Amino acid sequence: MARLAEPKLIVMATCHALAFAVEVAPFTNIVATSHNHSGKELEKWLECFYDFLASNMALYDAFEATQEQQFPLVMRFIRHKNIVFKRTT
């Protein structure tokens, strides 16, 4: 499915997502976790990450900047291609 849709990024904000992430890694960038995290922890991490992306920060830099915020959770990034997302509206 991911190969057909050609997404630029898949964020898997669910526990133990790395097994699926490995399957689609050849086709797209993946952010995922292999740990159990609360919804609140994930929400804070994702809000920070998407804020960096929305500010025209490159994907790799946005992930690193979010990781530097010292959130108490483990997110992994499987890199495929660095990109900058542009707002369309």
Asked whether residue 57 is assigned to any structural domain, the reply reads yes
- Residues of the chain with pLDDT > 90, as a percent, come to 29
This prediction's pTM: 0.82
Q: What is the pLDDT of residues 42-68, one digit of tens each?
A: 899 999 999 999 999 999 999 999 999
Number of domains in the chain: 1
Place 89 in a pLDDT band, splitting at 50, 70 and 90: low
Asked whether residue 88 is assigned to any structural domain, the reply reads no
Asked whether residue 89 is assigned to any structural domain, the reply reads no
Q: At what angle do helices 59-67 and 39-54 cross, to 10 degrees?
A: 140
Asked whether residue 24 is assigned to any structural domain, the reply reads yes
Q: If residue 4 lies in a helix (H) or strand (E), which one and from where to where?
A: helix 2-5
Provide the β-strand partners of residue 76.
32
Q: Strand 9-11 and strand 29-32: pairing?
A: parallel
Asked whether residue 86 is assigned to any structural domain, the reply reads no
Asked whether residue 19 is assigned to any structural domain, the reply reads yes
pLDDT at 2: 52
Q: What is the pLDDT of residues 17-42, one digit of tens each?
A: 777 887 888 888 888 887 778 888 88
Asked whether residue 84 is assigned to any structural domain, the reply reads no
Q: What's the domain range around 27?
A: 2-78
Asked whether residue 85 is assigned to any structural domain, the reply reads no
* Both tokens assigned to 64: 């690193």
